[in-house]
Structures are given as structure tokens and as C-alpha cells.
């Protein structure tokens, strides 16, 4: 098989957040790792980031996405604005089109700000939903991963009550199937998939709720009938530890979590800097650091770029290069 020599796209994220400066930090401190990358965003925003971290203004190749800023219109650091949200969204859109056309082999996305997107009139609450629409609305799921734990979410950005009401056997089965297919495609043969329950003690045989009996267990049974190595539902307070890679004691390769915070809390507890967000089910590879825009420290050079570096490393691995 010939190596894919196309670049990896990095989107700048919200111009008022830490995205541009952590990209510039990686070009300053990890130039070897940044070979074969190109930034989608705004040239003036990235020049400001280069000046902030002390590298030449032309050190980064930038593909302009959307109307360019000038110095007078640059969004200030740490302030939510529709202009910043629109610029961030344009970068994602341009990079997704490039990936679909084969001009880049993967996308690494710096953080967006959901309120800024809303102010810009963007109809999507985050990267996952935006990329899903751009790539044809195929079913997608969010995976959060670090070196110790992987979790995949059945539902993502919705109120908790709606997330619980939306649970269905079909949705859980689809999540298991998408997860199985992605792990197989990226090198894990016959992955061991644990499925979390939703009630305390996974319902305790129906004493604390019947979702495990009526909704979750049938999905696990159907997945196993399809040849997938799925197990559960397990009590959600212990299953993540059973899947954590501590030496060789882990029992599972991934945990299917029923809603957003159930899956994100255990991964983020293990460290924000080492986590990566991966969108499963897309026809393109997309990863992102597992942290936000950090408006409180944007422009101060206090941001840690290791999460973005880890996301880039994972994108290279998943893209097979």
C-alpha cells in the first residue's frame, strides 16, 4: 500500500480562545511532529498567535477560510463573539470539504465555543454535529480516549432529561456497531465492548429502574447475535475502572456510555491534557483535544499544547501513516 502523503489539516478553533496559540506553540516546540500539517483558519489570527509565542509570522502555512480579519476587527482574547464563532465554523467547513475531496488525509480540530457558534447563527452545538451534516448525515458517535481508557457516547449534546428519554435499543445497538467497526478498522481485532447501565447498580434487577432490562440488555443481545463481543449492562460506577488500562488488568477495550457526562467524567478525571475526542462513523478521520477554549487564559501563553499534540498523533495513527 502506498503511503498517503497528503497533509493533515488543523483547524484554528475559536480565535478568542487558546486554539491558535497552542497550534503556534507546537510549531515552535515540536516542529518535527508538525511536518506535513496545514492550518485552516484566518491568516491574521494565526499571525497574532505566532507573535504571541515568538515565532516568525510566516512559520505556519494557513489556508484562509471565510472572510479575512484585519487588525482592527480581530476578536479580542477571552471574549465570546459571533465573529469569532463564524470564523471557527468556516475553518471546520473548509477542512471537511478538503478531507472529503482527498486534499487532506485527516482533520485535527482546535476547540470551538458553543455560545460563539450560536451568536454566529451556526445551527450546530459542536464539531460532531457540524461534521455529521457536512459529511452526509451518516450516524456518528463521539469517542473520548486517552492511553488508559476509551468511552463512546450513545447521546452527546442534549439536556440530561432528553438524553434519558431518547434512549432506545436501536440507538444503543447502532452505537455498539459503529464502535466495533471503528476499532476493527484501526487495528483492534475482535474488540471487547462493555456497555454501561444507566441506573444505580445497573437497575439491580429492576428494583431501581427497568431501562437495563427493557432497553439496554436487548441491544447487547442483538450485538452478540451479530458476532460482536459485547457485554453488559454493567453498573456504571465500576465499569470504567474495569476497562482502564493499568498494566494488563483491563477487561475491555471500550465502554459504551449512555449519555455525555457519564462517559466524559472518567476520561477527563484521568487528565485533560492526554485526552482526545474522535468522531466515529464519518468517512473522514477527525480528532480533537479533550478540552475547551479556555477563555480565562487565552493570550497569556499559559495554555498547554500537549492535548493538541496527542490528537495529532492519534490522527496520524488512525489515518494509517
pLDDT in tens, 186-197: 888 899 999 999
CATH number at residue 2: 3.40.718.10
Q: What is the pLDDT of residue 202?
A: 86
208/227 same-domain check:
yes
* pLDDT range class, residue 146, cuts 50, 70, 90: confident
Q: Is residue 276 domain-resident?
A: no
Q: How far is CA 245 from CA 74, 101, 147, 251, 286, in A?
A: 44, 37, 7, 8, 24
- pLDDT for the residue numbered 5: 81
CA-atom Rg of the chain in angstroms:
20
Mean pLDDT value across residues 29-51: 96
Q: What percentage of the chain has pLDDT greater than the value 70?
A: 97
Cβ neighbourhood burial of 52 (10 Å; 0-12, 13-18, 19+): middle
Helix (H/G/I), strand (E/B), else coil: 231: strand
Using CA atoms, how far apart are residues 318 and 256, in angstroms rounded to an integer? 20
> Do residues 178 and 212 both lie within one domain?
yes
Task: Give the pLDDT confidence of 97-111 residue by residue, as tens digits.
Answer: 999 999 999 999 999
Give the per-residue pLDDT at 203: 77
Whether pLDDT at 159 is above 90: no
pLDDT exceeds 70 at position 273: no
Residue 176 lies in a domain: yes
Mean pLDDT, range 279-293, rounded to an integer: 92
Contact (CB, 8 A) for 113 and 148: no
125 assigned to some structural domain? yes
Place 250 in a pLDDT band, splitting at 50, 70 and 90: confident
Nearest to 196 by CA among 128, 279, 261, 287: 261
Q: Is residue 277 domain-resident?
A: no
Number of domains in the chain: 2
Give tens-digit pLDDT for 205-229: 888 889 999 999 999 999 999 999 9
Residue 321, pLDDT score: 55
Cα angle 12, 15, 17; round to 5? 95
Task: Tell me which residue range forms the domain holding 153.
Answer: 147-270
SS3 at position 255: strand
**Residue 68 belongs to some domain of the structure:** yes
Q: Residue 28: its pLDDT value, please? A: 96
Highest mean pLDDT among 200-204, 207-211, 289-293, 299-303: 299-303
Q: Same domain, yes or no, for 69 and 163?
A: no
**How confident is the prediction for the chain on average, in pLDDT?**
92
Q: Are residues 133 and 162 in the same domain?
A: no
Report whether pLDDT(272) > 60. Answer: yes
What does each C-alpha distance from 164 to 52, 156, 178, 262 come to in angstroms?
Answer: 44, 11, 20, 12
- Looking at the structure, tell me whether residues 133 and 1 fall in a common domain: yes
What's the predicted TM-score (pTM) here? Answer: 0.87
- φ/ψ of 312, rounded to 5, equals -65, -45
Beta strands in the chain (DSSP E): 8-11, 37-41, 62-64, 106-109, 141-145, 150-153, 193-196, 230-234, 254-257, 276-280, 286-289
Q: What integer is the mean pLDDT of 86-103?
A: 96
- Counting beta carbons within 10 angstroms of the beta carbon of residue 127, is it exposed (0 to 12), middle (13 to 18) or buried (19 or more)? buried
Query: Pick from 47, 50, 52, 80: which is nearest to 64 by CA?
Result: 47
Residue 260 has pLDDT above 60, yes or no: yes
Looking at mean pLDDT, say which of 156-160, 181-185, 253-257 comes out highest.
253-257
In this predicted structure, what is the pLDDT of residue 2?
47
Report the candidate in 153, 238, 239, 237 with the shortest Cα–Cα distance to residue 192.
Answer: 239
Q: Does residue 275 fall inside a structural domain?
A: no
Residues 127 and 154 in one domain: no
Amino acid at each position: 500500500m502506498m503511503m498517503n502523503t497528503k497533509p493533515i489539516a488543523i483547524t484554528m478553533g475559536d480565535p478568542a480562545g487558546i486554539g491558535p496559540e497552542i497550534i503556534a506553540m507546537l510549531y515552535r516546540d515540536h516542529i518535527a511532529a508538525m511536518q506535513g500539517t496545514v492550518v485552516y483558519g484566518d491568516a491574521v489570527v494565526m499571525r497574532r498567535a505566532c507573535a504571541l509565542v515568538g515565532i516568525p509570522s510566516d512559520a505556519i502555512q494557513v489556508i484562509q477560510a471565510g472572510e479575512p480579519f484585519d487588525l482592527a476587527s480581530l476578536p479580542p482574547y477571552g471574549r465570546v463573539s459571533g465573529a469569532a464563532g463564524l470564523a471557527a465554523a468556516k475553518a471546520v467547513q473548509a477542512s471537511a470539504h478538503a478531507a472529503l475531496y482527498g486534499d487532506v488525509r485527516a482533520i485535527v480540530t482546535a476547540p470551538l465555543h458553543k455560545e460563539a457558534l450560536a451568536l454566529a447563527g451556526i445551527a450546530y452545538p459542536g464539531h460532531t454535529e457540524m461534521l455529521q451534516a457536512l459529511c452526509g448525515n451518516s450516524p456518528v458517535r463521539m469517542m473520548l480516549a486517552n492511553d488508559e481508557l476509551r468511552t463512546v457516547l450513545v447521546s452527546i449534546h442534549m439536556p440530561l432529561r432528553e438524553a434519558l428519554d431518547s434512549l432506545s435499543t436501536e440507538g444503543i445497538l447502532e452505537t455498539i456497531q459503529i464502535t466495533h467497526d471503528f476499532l476493527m478498522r484501526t487495528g483492534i481485532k475482535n474488540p471487547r465492548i462493555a456497555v454501561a447501565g444507566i441506573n444505580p447498580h445497573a437497575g439491580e434487577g429492576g428494583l431501581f429502574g427497568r431501562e437495563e432490562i427493557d432497553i439496554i440488555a436487548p441491544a447487547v443481545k442483538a450485538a452478540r447475535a451479530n458476532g460482536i463481543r459485547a457485554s453488559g449492562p454493567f453498573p456504571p460506577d465500576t465499569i470504567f475502572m474495569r476497562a482502564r488500562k493499568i498494566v494488563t488488568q483491563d477487561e475491555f477495550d471500550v465502554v459504551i456510555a449512555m449519555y455525555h457526562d457519564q462517559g466524559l467524567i472518567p476520561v477527563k478525571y484521568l487528565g485533560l491534557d492526554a485526552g482526545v475526542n474522535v468522531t466515529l462513523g464519518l468517512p473522514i478521520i477527525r480528532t480533537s483535544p479533550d478540552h475547551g477554549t479556555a477563555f480565562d487564559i487565552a493570550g497569556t501563553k499559559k495554555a498547554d499544547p500537549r492535548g493538541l499534540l496527542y490528537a495529532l498523533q492519534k490522527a496520524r495513527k488512525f489515518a494509517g501513516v
